[in-house]
Structure 1
């Protein structure tokens, strides 16, 4: 089978772009090479791997897991089914984080629930002087975050634990978090490839809950770990901004606000310790 034949066959089953990316991945060729050298032959082993990947994509498995990588903020990250696939809307969290600490010489930043490390590593790339800590309950996720940090030359401290638990009495100029915020019984969990992503990273698992249990734990503990003037920024669901602002006020934070993503959805809320 040639790469041209493989691409034509694959796009009969799945999206044209997905088919192209999978062929390029298996054949280790660029888009330009796929177009200019369509008669390049695939080895039998490559053809079988490609067929398996096409079947998995046709069954709904996310492309990022099949390719083993995903882009975020213009940076490529290694991705596995142990972590969530980074979403474009989370880039707002990074942009706001950088603004919060841009006036500090060596800001102390902690990323709670770091997953693959996309937020911690990207902030580290944009703020090389920052002292970054990344926390996650999943050892597998932290292993991947370490790989991504090393890949992009970001130094960070990685701690296994539940939210603030492994931090002791440490204080930070900035706490960022993209916690589970989907209600446990939300029907969206059965769509758009979400059944393939780690459930514990999507929902707190509380039956009949509102998806805010993890966010409440983060806001409740923020004052004990924020340095004077420090910020807490939390990504949340499309309809949760008002509720999250209420939790931030209850936690005693000031300058509480929400910010819109590119779709004009209030996606991140935060406040600071006066």
Structure 2
């Protein structure tokens, strides 16, 4: 049977729908585009273009993997975030639109020409740090991660985006060994999911993303307890921090940063109107160490 772009898209969509995969319309389109070396415009303007046997076989493989709830980002090896395209593997969290809130908030206080120094704790794929560096050409950034595999992904992404010259990536345990008062901006998307919640997550997350990047201890707050005072230590006086939180963690994380001495602590909601970011400042009158 001849398989055209439109038949391929309809068939992929039907298979994903039958398997109960969320977002089957968009996922089917993305898989067809990748398998058939096509674009969204091709599917609309040339719907009867015939797939080669190799393209059809590739699509069958992609759809079967998605039916098993493997994330599209892992199948295709890439994911768009903010204004950049990132390589993604099983060793890093798939960048999500919710996390773009961190980038949006972080950019507010710093003009385009600001020569700021950025620290990203738990850098993963490099999503937050590289999105910020792409927007602030005078900035330089340091990304820290405990996973060497994640750092390899971030290094590849920095190189492909032409940002390697302004990006340093190091293996480390959060802020251990970092100088005090060294950064204008600290960002982080730490593991914040409570241990007993992880088995209830969608299969795409539970079965395919690194547990190390998900688990935040009994109440999900273990890493914030460590990070709040340390983030303030490494910030310059008046420097800003922006951290991602779980939707129900606003009060607890705000309290941790206030207890650590942060100024102007506030939360910001994501596009789904859920609390997503806690931000604040280091005391601008504190004497730099």
Provide the TM-score with structure 1 as the length reference.
0.91
2:113 touches 2:137 (CA, 8 Å); kept in 1? no
1:13 counterpart (15, 29, 48)? 15
Gaps in structure 2 of 5+ consecutive residues: 17-23, 284-289
| Local SS of the residue matching 1:228 | strand
C-alpha separation in 2, matches of 1:190 and 1:103: 38
Superposition map of 1:17-32 within 5 A: 17-32=26-41
Structure 1 equivalent of residue 169 of structure 2: 158
Structure 2 equivalent of residue 199 of structure 1: 211
Tell me if 1:131 matches 2:140: yes
C-alpha separation in 2, matches of 1:189 and 1:124: 35
1:110 touches 1:174 (CA, 8 Å); kept in 2? yes
Greater mean deviation of Cα atoms: 112-121 or 93-102: 93-102
Structure 1 equivalent of residue 110 of structure 2: 101
| Local SS of the residue matching 1:100 | coil
> C-alpha deviations, 1:10-40, integer Å up to 9, x for none?
2220123322221110111112223444444
| Local SS of the residue matching 2:233 | coil
C-alpha separation in 2, matches of 1:13 and 1:62: 15
Equivalenced residues, count: 271
Tell me if 1:3 matches 2:15: no
> C-alpha deviations, 1:177-236, integer Å up to 9, x for none?
0101010111564325212111111113x3xx1001011111121232111111222110
Structure 2 equivalent of residue 179 of structure 1: 190
1:100 touches 1:174 (CA, 8 Å); kept in 2? no
Shift of 1:94: 0.6
Gaps in structure 1 of 5+ consecutive residues: none
Greater mean deviation of Cα atoms: 119-128 or 51-60: 51-60
> C-alpha deviations, 1:96-149, integer Å up to 9, x for none?
111233388311110011111110001001111112111111111111111222
Distance 1:250 1:104, change over 3 A: farther
Shift of 1:89: 1.5
| Local SS of the residue matching 1:157 | strand
Greater mean deviation of Cα atoms: 112-121 or 23-32: 23-32
Greater mean deviation of Cα atoms: 127-136 or 167-176: 167-176
2:112 touches 2:135 (CA, 8 Å); kept in 1? no
CA RMSD of aligned residues (A): 2.0
2:145 touches 2:151 (CA, 8 Å); kept in 1? yes
Superposition map of 1:1-274 within 5 A: 1-4=2-5, 5-14=7-16, 15-102=24-111, 105-154=114-163, 155-169=166-180, 171-186=182-197, 189-191=200-202, 193-195=204-206, 196-204=208-216, 206=217, 209-274=218-283
Distance 1:161 1:263, change over 3 A: same
Shift of 1:43: 3.6
C-alpha separation in 2, matches of 1:139 and 1:213: 22
Distance 1:41 1:233, change over 3 A: same
> C-alpha deviations, 1:24-70, integer Å up to 9, x for none?
10111112223444444434333322212111111211111112111
| Local SS of the residue matching 1:164 | coil
| Local SS of the residue matching 2:61 | helix
